[in-house]
């Protein structure tokens, strides 16, 4: 008895595990694998919500996301309010009022004021081209590329306008607007904002600088002056005024952004259409327009978070169950290593419950360490590799609660399995155990997979109660059912491996190759352990392959849908036909489009292309059905009237193309898909020369592949008359598909975590047979068989099982993919349907990791076996 009155086996229990580091490691890793996925789920969900918010803010104009307040500034008192402030006094008053009403809101920049008017610059060499958009914007000097000058008061001119007018720094010019005239020097010349890539600072002025899409309104070069000079130039007409506060994304979270979003909405209500005193009430009849989309973006982020919860939580549950399996194996391993002591205690009447309590006392320290390490690992992984390193305090609290719950669950499982295992030491009913082993347990996950496939939600769109639109998600059944299917098939494969090994046990084997003989004998001698190791290897391989395939396929399909609708990365509508700029040579082509043609009795869009350059500019995926784009273009270049049509039920409706009063018989080829085909209208692809002959007024376009920002900048620098720009990246609404990638990022993490099961199981497998391996190593040395042959036997034994598991996992992934591939298209109403992307690099990496694991594990086991001495072997066999 101890001095605390407890029996010695129980009082010494917390210290006993220190003598068995392998058992302590197994228990700690089991607890880690239970705690990590449970703790990671709330952290990952918070991280994904924050990343979605950051993505939505970055994808939009940060000034309009935060606060954009537009109105007018009179420069003269009005008859209705002669005492009200005007000019700079009014500007300062409004800025002070905005600062006061938004001063307590976080994540917003300092107010930035922009004043705008239109003025003529003279004297001018080309008076008909002397108009500019005159702006005064706080901080503009730091966001333009100065070519010359930049000091002192005066006018800042864009370089192309200055060159056209023959102006340089120091020249005196007169700015006029209406009856106002102001003379000042040219203080600086900067690169025209239309010829350089757009900076976020200028995003709210995009339409002022480049013009609105599909608008015929004139676009003037933008020049800059000080605030006072602009109000002097504006004269009686006044000026437009913007007050903006951008969103600061540093440290921005869904929880932290909500108070700012609510505060901005209150400001909107108190600014426009409210009986309360507003920001522009003191300047009637000049109204104000308030714009802020931060609240919508926070709502959409929370919607993505809700959509992710239905898939991330089941994945975390699957990872936790996998960890509990390892914890159970660690409990059984503890019982096997304490067999002698447990047998004595059992013989003296100690029951399974008390023995389970002893296991809990002995392993509690390792379980606590493992759970703490699991929570720390989850926090570190989400911070390092998660969608965003930021998590909310509530998510941290939830993860701590989940880790504590996982700790209790792991300890209970270890104690329960250890007590059950200890109670079986004197079990006299082996036949009953054999009957339990014959039960086809794999029916349970396979049946559950079928039930989940039909019972769980298959909807790919999630809609909120308020008007924040929808977001796409991976349906829960596409996550839960494949996981259960992979586990059930892995269990079935393990049963087949066990059955096969038992049949091979009685077969004679040749001793000609000692390494092969020894490896085969060891594998068939323990069919249950070998089958479990094969199944444990197959599951993470299958899950990783499946997750990578779905992620790649969804991305490839969405990319193809957007590209096919637009036709390529960027399509620039031109006011007149121009050659391809040299900067875009090889990846751009000029095409013409006519949208009111007739093919037989069907209205069609007609696209005239250059067969020599169109393939390099248009989008095409090799997996699209039908002939390749190069084959289609060969049809066009081979015949003057060669053409291809996509989107018609058949070409029997006629092959005569009618444009206005012109008719032409075409040699048509019916294809499944063509780039640039828009929903609802068939597309006819013809040679550009033919379309220009039939429709000289057809819309010219420049198609180009690459970054749309660079393409637009190159077109602007080349002076192309661009009237509108269509981008493939804009086809899918921002934030709609944000949760899809995050779902499978978490699945990849769970697969990696499950892969740790292989390593732990392999260590337990090798340690459980270490005594026999030491004896064999000593006896083989006595027989003249060296360490190299024994290491080859180990490598064949371990590597063969892991290779079998890898092959089984790859086969399982292929089966699951084949059964679920039709559901990878999150927008089935849009062509081209699912395009499967097989992740060959992932499988290659898994194969390398499997081989490396086999080599390292077998080398470690061989090193331990080689250190054995004959005296130790004799002592082990006594």
Which range among 118-132, 389-403, 577-591 shows the weakest confidence by mean pLDDT? 118-132
The predicted structure's pLDDT at residue 134: 93
3-state secondary structure of 108: strand
Residue 738 has pLDDT above 70, yes or no: no
DSSP letter assigned to residue 154? S
Residue 22 has pLDDT above 90, yes or no: no
Two tokens, residue 349: 């009447």
Alpha carbons 833 and 126: distance in angstroms, whole number: 55
Give the model's confidence band at 3: pLDDT under 50 very low, under 70 low, under 90 confident, else very high.
very low
Give the model's confidence band at 335: pLDDT under 50 very low, under 70 low, under 90 confident, else very high.
confident
More confidently predicted of 21 and 303? 303
Residues 6+ apart with CB under 8 A from 652: none
Which range of 33-42, 624-633, 785-794 scores highest in mean pLDDT? It is 33-42
- Over residues 117-131, the pLDDT tens digits come to 999 887 654 455 688
The predicted structure's pLDDT at residue 155: 94
Q: Say if CB 747 and CB 479 are below 8 A apart.
A: yes
DSSP letter assigned to residue 831? T
Alpha carbons 28 and 374: distance in angstroms, whole number: 9
Two tokens, residue 207: 């339409």
Q: How far is CA 229 from CA 88, 153, 174, 180, 376, in A?
A: 11, 9, 12, 11, 59
DSSP 255-310: HHHHHHHHHHHHHHHTTSS-SS--SSGGGTT--EEEE--HHHHHHHHHHHHHHHHH
- Over residues 291-331, the pLDDT tens digits come to 888 888 888 888 888 878 877 887 788 778 777 877 887 77
The predicted structure's pLDDT at residue 274: 41
Give the model's confidence band at 499: pLDDT under 50 very low, under 70 low, under 90 confident, else very high.
confident
Q: How far apart are the first and last CA of the chain?
A: 30
Two tokens, residue 551: 């992620």
The predicted structure's pLDDT at residue 113: 94
Residue 45 has pLDDT above 80, yes or no: yes
Residue 599 has pLDDT above 50, yes or no: yes
Mean pLDDT across 768-791: 65
Residues 6+ apart with CB under 8 A from 568: 617, 618, 619, 675, 676, 703, 704, 705, 728
Q: Say if CB 550 and CB 848 are below 8 A apart.
A: no
The predicted structure's pLDDT at residue 73: 83
Q: Is the pTM of this model over 0.85?
A: no
The predicted structure's pLDDT at residue 83: 62
Residue linked to tokens 């259409």: 273
The predicted structure's pLDDT at residue 631: 86
Give the model's confidence band at 17: pLDDT under 50 very low, under 70 low, under 90 confident, else very high.
low
Alpha carbons 705 and 559: distance in angstroms, whole number: 13
Residue linked to tokens 């491996």: 497
Give the model's confidence band at 868: pLDDT under 50 very low, under 70 low, under 90 confident, else very high.
low
Give ∠ CA 439-444-449 in degrees, rounded to 5.
Answer: 150
Phi, psi values for residue 185, rounded to 5°: -80, 160
- Over residues 364-380, the pLDDT tens digits come to 888 899 899 989 988 98
Q: Say if CB 617 and CB 589 are below 8 A apart.
A: yes
Which range among 56-60, 204-208, 420-424 shows the weakest confidence by mean pLDDT? 420-424
Alpha carbons 414 and 407: distance in angstroms, whole number: 11
The predicted structure's pLDDT at residue 622: 82
- Over residues 127-143, the pLDDT tens digits come to 556 889 999 999 999 99
Residue 756 has pLDDT above 70, yes or no: no
Give me the count of residues in the chain. Answer: 878
Please, which contacts does 629-638 make with residues 24 or more away whose CB atoms are closer than 8 Å? 629/675, 632/669, 632/671, 632/674, 632/685, 633/609, 635/667, 635/669, 636/609, 636/611, 636/685, 636/686, 636/687, 637/611, 637/612, 637/687
Within a 10 A sphere around the Cβ of 682, how many other Cβ atoms?
21
Two tokens, residue 216: 């015929």
DSSP 747-774: HHHHHHHHHHHHHHHHHHHHHHTHHHHH
The predicted structure's pLDDT at residue 275: 40
The predicted structure's pLDDT at residue 140: 93
Q: How far is CA 170 from CA 120, 163, 225, in A?
A: 18, 14, 14
Residues 6+ apart with CB under 8 A from 630: 615
Q: What percent of the chain has pLDDT over 70?
A: 78
3-state secondary structure of 485: helix
- Over residues 524-537, the pLDDT tens digits come to 877 777 787 788 78
Give the model's confidence band at 588: pLDDT under 50 very low, under 70 low, under 90 confident, else very high.
very high
The predicted structure's pLDDT at residue 654: 62
Instruction: Give the closest residue to 306 by CA, choosing from 463, 457, 480.
Output: 463
- Over residues 650-697, the pLDDT tens digits come to 555 567 888 877 888 888 888 888 888 876 678 888 888 888 888 888
More confidently predicted of 864 and 586? 586
The predicted structure's pLDDT at residue 425: 59
Phi, psi values for residue 573, rounded to 5°: -80, 130
- Over residues 428-486, the pLDDT tens digits come to 555 555 555 566 777 888 888 888 888 876 666 555 545 455 666 677 777 778 888 88
Give the CA diameter of the chain.
116
Alpha carbons 647 and 631: distance in angstroms, whole number: 18
Which range among 688-692, 739-743, 869-873 shows the weakest confidence by mean pLDDT? 869-873
Mean pLDDT across 848-870: 75
- Over residues 191-212, the pLDDT tens digits come to 888 777 778 899 889 888 877 7
Two tokens, residue 816: 């699951």
Alpha carbons 242 and 208: distance in angstroms, whole number: 13
The predicted structure's pLDDT at residue 223: 94
């Amino acid at each position: 008895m101890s001095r605390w009155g407890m029996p010695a086996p129980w009082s010494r229990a917390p210290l006993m595990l220190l003598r068995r580091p392998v058992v302590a490691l197994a228990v700690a890793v089991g607890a880690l694998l239970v705690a990590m996925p449970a703790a990671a789920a709330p952290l990952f969900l918070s991280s994904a919500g924050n990343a979605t918010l950051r993505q939505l803010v970055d994808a939009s104009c940060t000034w309009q996301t935060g606060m954009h307040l537009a109105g007018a500034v009179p420069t003269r008192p009005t008859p209705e309010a002669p005492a009200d402030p005007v000019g700079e006094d009014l500007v300062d008053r409004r800025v002070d009022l905005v600062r006061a009403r938004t001063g307590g809101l976080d994540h917003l920049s300092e107010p930035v004021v922009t004043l705008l008017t239109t003025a003529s610059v003279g004297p001018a060499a080309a008076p008909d081209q002397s108009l500019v958009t005159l702006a005064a914007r706080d901080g503009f000097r730091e966001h333009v590329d100065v070519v010359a000058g930049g000091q002192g008061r005066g006018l800042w001119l864009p370089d192309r306008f200055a060159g056209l007018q023959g102006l340089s720094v120091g020249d005196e010019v007169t700015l006029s607007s209406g009856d106002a005239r102001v003379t000042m020097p040219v203080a600086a010349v900067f690169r025209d904002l239309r010829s350089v890539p757009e900076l976020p600072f200028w995003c709210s002025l995009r339409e002022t600088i480049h013009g609105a899409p599909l608008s015929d309104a004139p676009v003037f070069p933008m020049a800059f002056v000080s605030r006072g000079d602009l109000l002097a130039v504006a004269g009686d007409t006044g000026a437009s005024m913007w007050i903006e506060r951008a969103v600061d994304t540093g440290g921005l979270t869904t929880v932290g952004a909500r108070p700012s979003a609510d505060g901005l909405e209150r400001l909107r209500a108190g600014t426009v259409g409210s009986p309360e005193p507003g920001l522009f009430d003191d300047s009637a009849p000049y109204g104000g327009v308030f714009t802020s989309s931060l609240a919508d973006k926070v709502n959409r982020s929370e919607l993505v978070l809700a959509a992710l919860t239905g898939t991330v939580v089941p994945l975390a549950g699957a990872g936790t169950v996998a960890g509990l399996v390892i914890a159970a194996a660690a409990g059984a391993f503890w019982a096997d290593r304490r067999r002698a002591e447990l047998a004595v205690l059992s013989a003296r009447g100690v029951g399974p419950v008390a023995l389970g309590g002893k296991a809990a006392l002995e392993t509690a320290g390792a379980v606590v360490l493992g759970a703490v390490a699991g929570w720390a690992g989850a926090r570190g992984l989400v911070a390092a590799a998660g969608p965003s390193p930021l998590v909310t305090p509530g998510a941290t609290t939830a993860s701590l609660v989940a880790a504590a719950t996982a700790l209790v669950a792991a300890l209970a499982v270890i104690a329960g399995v250890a007590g059950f295992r200890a109670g079986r030491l004197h079990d006299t009913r082996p036949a009953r155990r054999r009957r339990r082993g014959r039960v086809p347990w794999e029916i349970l996950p396979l049946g559950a997979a079928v039930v989940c496939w039909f019972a769980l939600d298959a909807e790919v769109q999630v809609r909120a109660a308020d008007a924040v639109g929808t977001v796409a998600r991976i349906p829960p059944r596409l996550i839960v059912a494949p996981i259960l299917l992979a586990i059930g098939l892995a269990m079935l494969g393990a049963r087949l491996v066990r059955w096969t090994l038992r049949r091979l046990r009685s077969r004679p084997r040749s001793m000609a190759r000692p390494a092969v003989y020894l490896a085969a004998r060891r594998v068939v001698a323990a069919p249950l352990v070998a089958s479990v190791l094969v199944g444990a290897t197959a599951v993470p391989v299958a899950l990783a392959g499946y997750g990578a395939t779905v992620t790649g396929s969804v991305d490839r399909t969405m990319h193809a849908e957007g590209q096919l609708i637009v036709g390529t990365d960027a399509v620039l509508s031109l006011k007149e036909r121009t050659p391809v700029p040299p900067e875009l040579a090889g990846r751009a082509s000029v095409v013409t489009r006519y949208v009111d043609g007739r093919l037989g009795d069907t209205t069609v869009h007609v696209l005239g292309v250059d067969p020599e350059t169109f393939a390099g500019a248009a989008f095409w995926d090799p997996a699209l059905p039908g002939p390749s784009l190069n084959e289609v273009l060969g049809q066009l270049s081979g015949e003057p009237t060669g053409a291809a049509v996509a989107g018609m039920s058949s070409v029997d409706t006629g092959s005569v193309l009618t444009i206005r009063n012109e008719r032409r018989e075409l040699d048509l080829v019916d294809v499944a898909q063509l780039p640039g085909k828009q929903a609802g209208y068939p597309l006819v692809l013809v040679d550009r020369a033919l379309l220009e002959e039939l429709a000289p007024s057809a819309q010219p376009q420049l198609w180009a592949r690459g970054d749309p920002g660079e393409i637009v900048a190159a077109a602007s620098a080349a002076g192309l008359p661009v009237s509108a720009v269509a981008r493939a990246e804009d086809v899918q609404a921002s934030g709609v598909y944000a949760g899809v990638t995050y779902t499978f990022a978490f699945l990849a993490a769970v697969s990696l975590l499950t892969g740790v099961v292989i390593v732990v199981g392999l260590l337990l497998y090798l340690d459980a047979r270490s005594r026999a391996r030491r004896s064999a190593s000593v006896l083989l040395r006595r027989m003249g068989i060296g360490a190299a042959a024994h290491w080859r036997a180990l490598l064949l034994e371990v590597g063969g099982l892991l290779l079998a598991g890898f092959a089984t996992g790859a086969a399982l992934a292929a089966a699951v993919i084949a059964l679920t591939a039709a559901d990878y298209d999150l927008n089935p109403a849009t062509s081209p349907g699912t395009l499967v992307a097989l992740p060959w690099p992932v499988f290659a990496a898994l194969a390398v990791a499997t081989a490396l694991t086999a080599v390292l594990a077998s080398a470690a086991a061989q090193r331990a076996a080689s250190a054995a001495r004959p005296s130790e072997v004799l002592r082990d066999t006594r």
